[in-house]
């Protein structure tokens, strides 16, 4: 008994063409995804991001910082480091804050009246949360690299002082 193998050149040709199209579509989609996801942070912009205000950054942070009601009757002081990202649109994102443990002076200060007969304590999480919220309210002119807006990392230090 003889067996015959059926071979259709048209089907093989179409399958190879479909495979090529799929390959090129995959490459095209990959390029699009990479180019659209250009949220990389420029570490060395030509022009740094500038806060959109007539006052300096320290004054704005002091102005926008709302002390938590839970801390209104306490004495808290210390230095906080704050880091954030400014987007291509000048919007603040990814705000982080931590308490500084070194004795270096801070870039700006927030002063509060000392509550009599109360112990002086370190900065706590509610104050950090409100500070990060306050930073998030700021608007910036974005940093530039080769004349185009880029994402940039910013930071400052703030000393909470009792007077």
104, 114 in Cβ contact below 8 A?
A: no
pTM: 0.71
Q: How far apart are CA 128 and CA 67, in angstroms?
A: 10
For CA atoms 113, 116, 119, 125, the dihedral sign is: negative
pLDDT per position as a tens digit, 116-132: 988 998 999 999 999 99
Grade residue 156 by pLDDT with cuts at 50, 70 and 90: very high
Which pair of structure tokens corresponds to residue 60? 């704005």
Q: How far apart are CA 149 and CA 87, in angstroms?
A: 8
Residue among 12, 126, 110 at smallest CA distance from 65? 110
pLDDT per position as a tens digit, 51-68: 888 778 888 888 888 888
Q: At what angle do helices 125-136 and 57-64 cross, to 10 degrees?
A: 120
Rounded average pLDDT over 34-43: 62
pLDDT per position as a tens digit, 132-149: 999 999 999 999 999 999
114, 75 in Cβ contact below 8 A?
A: yes
pLDDT per position as a tens digit, 60-98: 888 888 888 888 889 999 999 999 999 999 999 999 999
Please tell me the predicted confidence (pLDDT) of residue 24: 59
Residue among 131, 125, 124, 74 at smallest CA distance from 108? 131
């Amino acid at each position: 008994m003889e067996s015959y193998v059926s071979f259709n050149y048209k089907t093989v040709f179409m399958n190879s063409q479909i495979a090529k199209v799929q390959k090129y579509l995959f490459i095209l989609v990959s390029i699009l995804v990479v180019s659209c996801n250009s949220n990389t942070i420029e570490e060395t912009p030509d022009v740094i991001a500038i806060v959109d205000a007539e006052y300096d950054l320290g004054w704005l942070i002091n102005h926008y910082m709302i002390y938590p009601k839970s801390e209104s009757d306490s004495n808290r002081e210390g230095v906080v480091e704050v880091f954030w990202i400014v987007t291509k649109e000048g919007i603040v994102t990814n705000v982080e804050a931590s308490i500084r443990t070194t004795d270096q002076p801070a870039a700006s200060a927030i002063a509060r009246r000392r509550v009599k007969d109360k112990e002086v304590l370190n900065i706590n999480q509610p104050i950090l949360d409100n500070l990060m919220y306050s930073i998030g309210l700021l608007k910036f002119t974005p940093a530039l690299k080769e004349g185009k807006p880029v994402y940039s990392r910013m930071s400052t230090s703030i000393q909470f002082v009792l007077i």
